[in-house]
Amino acid sequence: MKTARLAPYLFVFLWSTGFVGAKYGLPYADPFIFLSLRIFIAAGILFIAARLMNAQISLTRSDIGKSSLIGLFLHAFYLGGVFFAISQGVSAGVAAVITSLQPVFVSILAVKVLGEKLRWSQFAGLVTGLIGVVLVLGPTFDSSVSKIGLAGVFVALLGSTTATLMQKKFGADIPLVVGTAYQYLAAGAVLGIAALATGGTRIEFTPRFGAAMIWLILALSVGAVLLLLRLLNSGSAASVSSLFYLVPPATALEAYILFGEKVNTQGFLGIGVTALGVWLVIRKTN
């Protein structure tokens, strides 16, 4: 029971480190080939894990199609957009604050697409969380931010929003581990094609790149993604998506610890406001 309660916060920590991992690894590789390699390796790990657990490996053509579609939006669009944006000079903070708008879109669309009900307290929490995110990272916006990089972040926002709704709509009945592996196969192929099409196939196998790759595969592509899909299968789309509000503050704290990027008084205030917003969304009422 305690483990289940800790799962959302473990997800927030793991997911937030993806921005840090990207910052460490991208100087040594082009974004799409970096992601394609990472995702294909993660797919192999999950297929091996499924075999060791004696889980079902083969899926119906319909389930493979659904998994591939979810993977296209969650991994190719979301991750591809974020990595491309950071490679174009967009800061991890700016990327985090834009993609953290996902809960607003998911919560509104879930009412129509999934038939979920949005309580007034949840609506208030979504607005509060958004205010907190802006307080933490709003000052990082300036006119020098790459416009094409920002476009990549909005593609990522579209991808994560669509994938969340798809997973909740028709992904819950697909076996988790092997379904995610098929997601990666589809996304890895699309990202590989994008790398070849853009000529972005450079990789420098340095120790720093290797460390970033290992962390992103094990902590993000295996750990965080499986946690996300499990949380979506067991909770409402609005509640799970609200956790993304905690990612930018967590990223800001990690940047302070790892890179010495200071968080000012406004930032700490924003972290508190964000936490309050998430609590309003995910708290249970009788």
For helices 147-166 and 92-99, the axis angle rounded to 10 degrees is 40
The beta-carbon contacts of 71-74 under 8 Å, at least 24 apart in sequence, are 71/180, 71/182, 71/183, 71/184, 71/185, 71/186, 71/187, 72/186, 72/187, 72/190, 73/158, 73/159, 73/160, 73/162, 73/163, 73/166, 74/159, 74/160, 74/163, 74/164, 74/167, 74/183, 74/187, 74/225
Contacts of 78 (CB under 8 A, 6+ apart): 99, 156, 159, 160, 163
* pLDDT, position 256: 75
Confidence of residue 143 (pLDDT cuts 50, 70, 90): low
Residue 29's φ and ψ, nearest 5 degrees, are: -160, 150
Which range has the top average pLDDT, 28-32, 89-93, 247-251, 252-256?
Answer: 28-32
* pLDDT, position 68: 95
Which range has the top average pLDDT, 80-89, 124-133, 188-197, 223-232?
Answer: 188-197
Q: What is the pLDDT of residues 206-216, one digit of tens each?
A: 999 999 999 99
The structure's pTM equals: 0.82
Confidence of residue 142 (pLDDT cuts 50, 70, 90): low
Mean residue pLDDT across the chain: 85
Mean pLDDT of 24-36: 94
Q: What is the pLDDT of residues 97-114, one digit of tens each?
A: 788 778 778 877 877 777
Confidence of residue 144 (pLDDT cuts 50, 70, 90): low
Q: What is the pLDDT of residues 44-54, one digit of tens each?
A: 999 998 888 87
Q: Is the pLDDT of residue 266 over 80?
A: no
